[in-house]
């Protein structure tokens, strides 16, 4: 999937990018449909790795179903963290962060401030920096340059 992401990067700010993304999604979505969001009992570890790679790549390609799936899993996670497998958290948080509106960004940020897990804290803060909306990106820069930095350490 790295190759797909590299090609997508080459199309950055080019009018052909949406067409490439549509083509790449059409190739990857059927594979993801077979792998699915949830692991199966006695599943090969490589299948779990493939799952996270597919979710992340489809998220980077603005796959609508992937964005909806990530958002739904994030909402369930907010109610009960046990509902989201630890190996899916970074990729789900990343997709949610990239597509966040202001309330969602605030949820990611608040979780990052309150979690006791260093790994999860990192994932949440990286996700909040991925926000595509310029106002949210600016908000994130501001939070990094205030006293919140010491509060997170």
Q: What is the DSSP letter of 15?
A: T
Copy the structure tokens of residue 42. Answer: 């006695």
DSSP 62-124: T-HHHHHHHHHHHHHHHH-GGGS-TTTHHHHHHHHHHT--HHHHHHHHHHHHH---HHHHHHH
**Residues 64-120: tens digit of each pLDDT:** 999 999 999 999 999 999 999 999 999 999 999 999 999 999 999 899 999 999 999
What pLDDT, in 10s, does the model give residues 18-40?
Answer: 999 999 999 999 999 999 999 98
C-alpha distance from residue 24 to each of 27, 85, 131, 132 (Å): 5, 26, 23, 21
* Residue partners of 17: CB distance under 8 A and separation at least 6: 8, 11
Per-residue pLDDT at 139: 64
Determine the pLDDT at residue 137: 63
Please report the pLDDT score of residue 2 as a whole number.
85
pTM for this prediction: 0.85
How far apart (Å, rounded) are the C-alpha atoms in residues 72 and 63? Answer: 14
Q: What is the DSSP-derived secondary structure letter of residue 37?
A: S
């Amino acid at each position: 999937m790295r190759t797909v992401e590299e090609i997508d990067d080459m199309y950055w700010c080019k009018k052909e990018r949406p067409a490439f993304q549509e083509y790449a999604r059409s190739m990857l979505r059927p594979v993801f449909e077979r792998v699915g969001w949830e692991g199966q009992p006695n599943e090969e570890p490589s299948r779990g790795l493939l799952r996270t790679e597919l979710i992340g790549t489809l998220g980077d390609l603005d796959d609508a179903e992937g964005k909806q799936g990530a958002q739904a899993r994030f909402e369930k996670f907010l109610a009960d963290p046990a509902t989201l497998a630890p190996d899916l958290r970074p990729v789900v948080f990343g997709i949610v962060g990239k597509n966040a509106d202001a309330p969602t960004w605030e949820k990611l940020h608040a979780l990052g401030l309150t979690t006791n897990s260093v790994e999860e804290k990192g994932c949440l803060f990286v996700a909040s920096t991925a926000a595509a909306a310029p106002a949210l990106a600016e908000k994130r820069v501001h939070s990094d340059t205030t006293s919140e930095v010491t509060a997170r350490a």
